[in-house]
Amino acid sequence: MENSKISGIPTILDTDIGTDIDDTWALVMLLNSPELDLKMVLSATGDTLHRAKISAKLLETAGRTDVAVGIGVETPQGPEFKRQAAWVDNYDLYQYPGKFYGDGVGAMISMIMAAKEPVTILCIAPATNIAEALKREPRIAGRCRFVGMHGSIRRGYNNNDTPAAEYNVKADIPAAKAVFEADWLDAVFTPLDTCGLVVLKDELYRRITASQAPLIKALLENYKIWAYGEEKDRSSVLFDTVAVHLAYSTGYLKMEEINVKVTDDGFTVIDPAGKRFNCAIDWTAMEAFEKDLVARLLA
């Protein structure tokens, strides 16, 4: 780890956990990152009650019921987005031992406005909840650092040299516009250019599968369910872990200050009229990041 990390950053995670498995990996990483003081996990988009159940069960498994769980704004979404449902079929969210908020967006606003220091909003989902929070209380932007997994600047999915309309942006374009137009205290994000390349394989992945830690076993149970029972010899693409890293450090990454706008068709483009963001545009040491990620997961 390098010197840019900061200790004890109050953090709210906004996640659409339960769709792509990378959110589950990211939450485990976050729980094992002492630089971040996780205050709440807020479920985003689709069946947000279902997503909150996954977060709450993982928090219980980790012994971290000091972390609040909030239900975010529900949006229409098909059953194909509930691929981890079997893991929480019998889990009663309303018996979660920690704090639980039916209006997670309202709880997030209250936390931010009451905080004595800036809060980091770590958004690894379509920005529906964040846009709603900005609508209800625009002042939160000036009290927050925004860290996101969003967009595509020079490279797209699968390291394609053509930028893409990335899912977290395209899934709710008006919300993405609201977030990328807000006057954040500070703003940083990882686009597909960097986060779309992270896959654990070979010895690094074998170290994960050999672990008997309850939280890792829960992670792998979810991964197998998500993969429809198929045994994997590597991780899927772990997009969201890069955003977790950016919440406490810019190490391993080439950062670039750019002005960004969201287009009507869901692309993130460099535009002088856009707001200034610190963008993780390339890797300087991706293998070192992957080793650090495994060390955190196994901590």
Residue 7 has pLDDT above 60, yes or no: no
What is the rounded CA–CA span in Å between residue 27 and residue 189? 17
Average pLDDT of the chain is 96
Which residue carries 């927050």 as its tokens? 144
How confident is the model at residue 30, as a pLDDT? 98
How confident is the model at residue 5, as a pLDDT? 40
24-60: per-residue pLDDT in tens? 999 999 999 999 999 999 999 999 999 999 999 999 9
- Residue 147 has phi, psi (to 5 degrees) of -125, 125
Domains of the chain: 9-297 (3.90.245.10)
**How would you classify the pairing of strands 100-101 and 253-262?**
unpaired
How confident is the model at residue 79, as a pLDDT? 73
What is the rounded CA–CA span in Å between residue 226 and residue 270? 35
How confident is the model at residue 78, as a pLDDT? 75
Q: Are 128 and 168 in contact (CB under 8 A)?
A: no
Which residue carries 């004890």 as its tokens? 8
246-256: per-residue pLDDT in tens? 999 999 999 99
* 3-state class (DSSP) for residue 139: helix
How confident is the model at residue 290, as a pLDDT? 98
Determine whether 99 is exposed, middle or buried from the number of CB atoms within 10 Å of its CB (0-12, 13-18, 19+): middle
What is the rounded CA–CA span in Å between residue 26 and residue 147? 13
Percent of the chain whose pLDDT exceeds 90: 96
Token reading at 185: 């205290």
Q: What distances in angstroms separate CA 24 from CA 13, 27, 102, 219, one per listed residue?
A: 12, 5, 21, 7
What is the rounded CA–CA span in Å between residue 30 and residue 122? 10
76-110: per-residue pLDDT in tens? 987 778 999 999 999 999 999 999 999 999 999 99
2 pLDDT tier (thresholds 50, 70, 90): very low
Residue 213 has pLDDT above 90, yes or no: yes
Residues 64-81: b if buried by 16+ CB within 10 A, e if exposed? beebbbbbbbbbebeeeb
What is the rounded CA–CA span in Å between residue 203 and residue 262? 39
Token reading at 112: 């931010």
pTM score? 0.96
